[in-house]
Amino acid sequence: MLDAPAISSPRLTMPAARLDARFKQDTLYVFAVDETQLIRAWPDLTAVRKHDRAARWAAFEPDYPLIRPYRPRRKPKRATAPATDPRQLTLALELAAGAPPPPLPAPKLTPAQRRKRAFDAFRFTCPKPVARRVEPFRGDHLPLLRLLRALGERGDLFDSNPALGYCLALAFRQTLASPQPERDQHLERLVALKQAEIMARLELPDSKRAVKAMAKIRPGAMSRELVGGLKRLLADDAALRVMGHLPALNLGVLTLLLDPQLRALATPVLFEAVLADKQEDHFPFAARRLADIQQMADALGTDISRRRFRERKRLDALFQDLARDYTRLDDARLEGCRFPPPPVLGTDAIVPLRAPRALVEEGHKQHNCVAGYAERVAGGDTYIYRVLAPQRATLSLVRWSGGRWQIGELLRAGNHPVSAATRRAVTEWLEAARL
């Protein structure tokens, strides 16, 4: 059996609000307040960082996406030519006579625009098929790029079974970062293997049902945390039966399946609804809602083990009912929660709630169940903000697979939807603050 490094390892995490990026001389430069990163473009794909000028450069793997979706700018529509101004005609005559044209002011880019240009330039150094295959994954792009560089024309594994390609890239990431002769020697053993044989080499279940289930996993669901549970999930007959009846598998479905207690509360209809929800591709909303319901029900002494849920709105309604009673408890666990620093710095209009008591107060003022998220915030995958303008609202940010923070819920008092202007303002704040 081939030796594979451990799947999980510490990765870089930095406050998104402090990041900037440039691209020059085939290198992506990422700058933070206390750190500089250099990531060489295709086909070099080396990455180093250092914390200050006196420090030595050290190799690392960025945990943020390197290959970003590219959307070309739309060409502006041609405007109807206005009536000619006599002063413009005089200027044109002067220019025709040889006068130098006035200098054009250089366009000033926002930090978000600079970052986009830098990452677009990095993407353009990669062959189009490589960029297309890596883009759907939410993280670990560097080992994925290195594997596709090594596979060359054999990269079609990522078309038929992208989740297996991801596991392979992680398992052999140290080999892929090594000099070419050593790298090729290891990869030659894998070239002719079937997918079941590759799974066996990775110590994953290699039955026909397991291979078919693996091939159904959408790339956006894959993360190092999920890889740790795949071995158990693909060996579970009950989970394989559910996976066999679904046309694809996203992060929401897989998270429900990984927890037998939550799986027992879900019906086939709910699994289909979770699969159809695009947000569930990147964050397991239904599974997290069920887990919160289970936790609050246990604290309140309410038995929900015989409940079977078919719709997300039923989950939301039960969550709100339980949260109202849960926040009335003198619960030492709630008071004992310690919140981490906010993942995105707030503003005068978007204020992070840094303590459980602030969540309780927000819930009372806004008539919502936000206090029920205290354990999630303490666990590091959710953060709550008070929005003061353009409308008064409550915002939850959630950490999607790959580590990026996205809007989870953004609602006015009583869980009513916000205006388009409010959602746009919050979205622009988040986009300006993250890499």
Question: Where residue 82 falls among pLDDT bands split at 50, 70, 90?
Answer: low
Residue 325 has pLDDT above 50, yes or no: yes
Cis omega (within 30 of 0) for bond into 43:
yes
Distance in angstroms (rounded) separating the CA atoms of residues 96 and 389: 53
Distance in angstroms (rounded) separating the CA atoms of residues 422 and 413: 14
- Residue 433 is predicted with a pLDDT of 75
Helix (H, G, I), strand (E, B) or coil at 220: helix
Question: Where residue 97 falls among pLDDT bands split at 50, 70, 90?
Answer: low
Helices (H), 248-373: 251-258, 260-265, 268-276, 285-300, 312-326, 332-335, 356-366
Distance in angstroms (rounded) separating the CA atoms of residues 203 and 208: 15
The conformational region for residue 252 under phi > 0 = left, psi -120 to 50 = alpha, else beta, is alpha
- Residue 113 is predicted with a pLDDT of 85
More confident position, 331 or 206: 206
- As a whole number, mean pLDDT of residues 210-235 equals 93
Residue range 15-29, pLDDT digits in tens: 344 578 999 999 999
- Residue 107 is predicted with a pLDDT of 73
- Residue 55 is predicted with a pLDDT of 81
Residues 6+ apart with CB under 8 A from 23: 29, 41, 117, 118, 119, 121, 122
* Highest mean pLDDT, choosing among 202-211, 374-383, 406-415: 202-211
- Residue 283 is predicted with a pLDDT of 84
Tokens of 169: 């890239």
Residue 11 has pLDDT above 60, yes or no: no
Mean pLDDT, the chain, integer? 84
Instruction: Classify residue 62 by its DSSP letter.
Output: -
Residue range 44-72, pLDDT digits in tens: 999 999 987 778 899 999 878 899 888 76
Candidates 343, 401, 398; CA nearest to 140 is 401
Q: Whose structure tokens read 């969550």?
A: 319
Residues 6+ apart with CB under 8 A from 295: 375
More confident position, 256 or 299: 256
Distance in angstroms (rounded) separating the CA atoms of residues 47 and 51: 14
Question: Where residue 9 falls among pLDDT bands split at 50, 70, 90?
Answer: very low
Question: Which amino acid is present at 260?
Answer: P
Residue range 107-122, pLDDT digits in tens: 788 777 888 999 999 9
Residue range 362-384, pLDDT digits in tens: 988 888 878 888 888 999 989 99
Tokens of 67: 């290959």
Q: How many CB atoms lie within 10 A of CB 63?
A: 20
Residue 12 has pLDDT above 50, yes or no: no
Question: Where residue 252 falls among pLDDT bands split at 50, 70, 90?
Answer: very high
Angle between helix 141-151 and helix 162-171 axes, rounded to 10 deg: 100
Question: Where residue 174 falls among pLDDT bands split at 50, 70, 90?
Answer: confident
- Residue 14 is predicted with a pLDDT of 36
Task: Please state the pTM of the whole predicted model.
Answer: 0.78
- As a whole number, mean pLDDT of residues 240-267 equals 94
SS (H, E, C) 71-91: CCCCCCCCCCCCCCCHHHHHH
Do 57 and 48 meet the contact criterion of CB atoms below 8 Å apart?
yes
More confident position, 424 or 84: 424
